[in-house]
Structure 1
Amino acid sequence: MSPFPIRPSLPMLAGLLLLAGCASVPLESAQEDAKGKQFTPPPPDRGSLYVYRQGLMGAPVTIPVTIAGSPETPLAANTWVWLEGAPAALDVKCTGTDGSAALTANVGPGETRFVEVAFRPGLMGSRCAVLEVPEAQGRAAVLAGKRAVGP
């Protein structure tokens, strides 16, 4: 007789390991999360940038992100940060153990832009990718995620 009365299936074990290994990051308050999810257009002399990470790929690790030279902000799966400020070309960079990626988001006056940071498996560890996405895609990801403490 087996010492385990219930024999777990491979999908069940994979699901348990995935849930047990999810990385976490400090989150903003529920009020700040809700404020960012209103997508209020910035005033004409300011711009708005959302940077998010979506999905469970690489869930056990955070991805360090630097936005416009600010200190690193770690993003876990399904988290996002929001910045509003003077219109500018903002550099967004992520770092993995097997490389980094960068993108410049040109945020104009009164504009809101969305940038996705994604985990990619690499040969020697993790990689990341950075890409600007359409507004509808970015809004959906922000609405499904939680606001991380960011720059």
Structure 2
Amino acid sequence: MKRLAAIFSSILILLLVGCASVPLAPMDRDLKAKAFLTTPDKASLYIYRNESFGSAIPMTVAINGKTLGQTAAKTYFYLTLPPGQYNVESHAENLINLLLTMESGKNYFVWQEVKMGMNIARCFLQQVDDTTGRAGVMESEMIATSVSGNDLMPLDAPIAKNDSISKKLRELRDLRKDGIITEDDFQQKKQQLLEKL
């Protein structure tokens, strides 16, 4: 029994002390993001994990359902996004969400906190103030991700008008003009298309 407890303790220590590895961005991108400059038409989002606790456990991060990648100890994601609402998600032993409403020209910081879970580490997301966020990012390294701000739209973004409906309306007008359909048929089909908007 003592031997089993020793093995379990050793595994637990390895999980808590070992390090997960994630792909890091080039140093010049990391340094540029750490200048904390903003742009007038975008919001800057930093999602960081600056703790060493649970470093062997990578934690998945997603925004609006689109996976950015995984964090490890002392790492962060950086994105510039159109202003609006975003759902930041973190997956470990649990799944946690944080809804952010971001304005252009501002920096936003989300701390991915690590806590001990039943089997592996659990994660929590907290929006933190500028001073706390900058300090956490400064002690971390940027993670490389294939997702950019152009790949993500706010949850509250206006829905673009459907061009195919406009095209179908033009086709209906042409059919009516050419005498292929009657005025009544045109009005009925036009109403059906407009209801789809």
TMscore range, shorter length: 0.7 to 0.9
The alignment status of 1:128 with 2:123, answered yes or no, reads yes
2:33 maps to which of 12, 32, 36: 36
Q: CA deviation at 1:131?
A: 0.6
Number of the residue aligned with 2:24: 27
Number of the residue aligned with 1:9: none
1:118 is paired with a residue of what secondary structure? Answer: strand
1:89 maps to which of 71, 75, 85: 85
Number of the residue aligned with 2:42: 46
Compare relative contact order (CA 8 Å, sep 6+) and give the higher one, 1 or 2.
Answer: 1
1:80 is paired with a residue of what secondary structure? Answer: strand
Residue identity (%):
31
Q: Structure 2 length normalisation: TM-score?
A: 0.64
Number of the residue aligned with 2:143: 148
1:77 maps to which of 53, 73, 76: 73
Give every structure 1 segment of 4 or more consecutive aligned residues whose post-TM-superposition deviation is greater than 6 Å: none
Cα deviation, 1:33-88, whole Å, max 9, x if unaligned, reads: 11100101222x21111100111110111111102322241000110011102101
Q: Which has the higher helix share?
A: 2
What amino acid is aligned across from residue 83 of structure 1 in structure 2?
A: L
Q: Distance in 1 between matches of 2:127 and 2:47?
A: 9
Number of the residue aligned with 2:101: 106
What amino acid is aligned across from residue 71 of structure 1 in structure 2?
A: T
Maintained 8 Å contact 2:43/2:82: yes
What amino acid is aligned across from residue 35 of structure 1 in structure 2?
A: K
Paired residues in the alignment total: 133
Q: Which has the larger radius of gyration?
A: 2
Specify every segment of 5 or more residues in structure 1 that has no aligned partner in the other structure, as ranges: 1-13
Aligned Cα root-mean-square deviation (Å): 1.7
Specify every segment of 5 or more residues in structure 2 that has no aligned partner in the other structure, as ranges: 1-12, 148-197
What amino acid is aligned across from residue 37 of structure 1 in structure 2?
A: K
What amino acid is aligned across from residue 125 of structure 2 in structure 1?
A: V
2:67 is paired with a residue of what secondary structure? Answer: coil
1:71 is paired with a residue of what secondary structure? Answer: strand
